[in-house]
Structure 1
Amino acid sequence: MLAIAPDLAVSRWFNTPRPLSLAALRGKVVVLHAFQMLCPGCVEHALPQAERLHRLFKDRSDVAIVGLHAVFEHHAAMTPVSLEAFIHEYRLTFPIAVDEASTTDGIPVTMRRFGMRGTPTTIVVDQDGCVVEHGFGRIDDMALGVLIGSLVARAVRPPESHQDGDEDCASGRCALP
């Protein structure tokens, strides 16, 4: 059974005219990339991957790419002002949330809600709001693309009205299952 994605707890947004929420993004496949700007794996792989995905899907209404700056170490160095400069320097154009800081142990609120082990973390949420992928570390581009594509295809597949032997299927115009 798939788990419903918890709400994002965000203190600030970048690259979006208004705050986003997973509830407002229902009906879309959401790829949530959690990162820290001082994380080598994030800078080398996860953020370029998120930017490529965003550029690929930015004109589509069925996929959303969202960054989550989840600071669990080096808090003094990773301020929103530093993040704003980082976003500009790396030319990141997808919406980026700043995870709400913890009041107790330094683990940000959204990071704790999703049970993230660190950064980079890639979470894919399907159109129904369920977490279908929760990957820590480097996620292969092809594997992530196949997952996103299969979720999008699942949503646009026509009703299963044709059976083997139907006239449309016999003519070769039957949709793939």
Structure 2
Amino acid sequence: MGQTAFALAPPWQVSQWFNSERALSPADFRGRVIAMHAFQMLCPGCVQLGLPQASRIARLFDPAHVAVVGLHTVFEHHQAMTPVALEAFIHEYQLTFPIGVDTPGESGPIPRTMVAYGMQGTPTLVLIDRQGRLRKQSFGAEDDMRVGSDIAFLLAEPERSAAP
């Protein structure tokens, strides 16, 4: 039985981190499943559905096995969604997982990590397996049961020490 080949998750191009004392990359979480939630603080779907889901994942799964990372990927209303405003937002919503600020695009409004992952908008959920491979990416809110099942599936896979 052949194994499906999955691409390694692109690196995150982040200009600033919150809730982390250092810059992070997918490689820092090898051996754990990563649930990355891309959001904008002025996006109603992100505030009402995506970020609460990310907080539930962080609370319900063992951090030794599942890492939750937020990516503030601003592609509209740039003047309103500054890092200073984001810091207040993180405090008010009591977000405790690491959150990176996606680096602005070189030639347009779409940030670099958003482009690298081919995201359509926010909220976007990205699941990266323990070997650092991109396994799922979905635009829009997803049911908690579905996301929990997807994470459990990735956790149940045999662990390998290195990416192929």
Note whether the superposition's TM-score is higher than 0.5.
yes
Give the match for residue 146 of structure 2: 143
TM-superposed deviation, 1:155: 3.4
Give the letter aligned to residue 149 of structure 1. Answer: A
Alignment of 1:27-176 (within 5 A): 27-57=31-61, 59-155=62-158
Q: Which runs of 5+ in 2 are unaligned?
A: 160-164
Q: TM-score of the superposition, structure 1-length normalised?
A: 0.84
CA distance in 2, matches of 1:94, 1:148: 17
Rg larger in structure: 1
Give the letter aligned to residue 136 of structure 1. Answer: F
Q: Which runs of 5+ in 1 are unaligned?
A: 157-177
CA distance in 2, matches of 1:56, 1:30: 14
TM-superposed deviation, 1:12: 0.4
TM-superposed deviation, 1:152: 1.0
CA distance in 2, matches of 1:92, 1:9: 21
**What count of residue pairs does the alignment treat as equivalent?**
155
CA distance in 2, matches of 1:15, 1:111: 21
SS at match of 2:137: strand
Output the aligned Cα RMSD.
1.1
Q: TM-score of the superposition, structure 2-length normalised?
A: 0.91
SS at match of 1:11: strand
CA distance in 2, matches of 1:66, 1:24: 12
Identity of aligned residues (%): 56
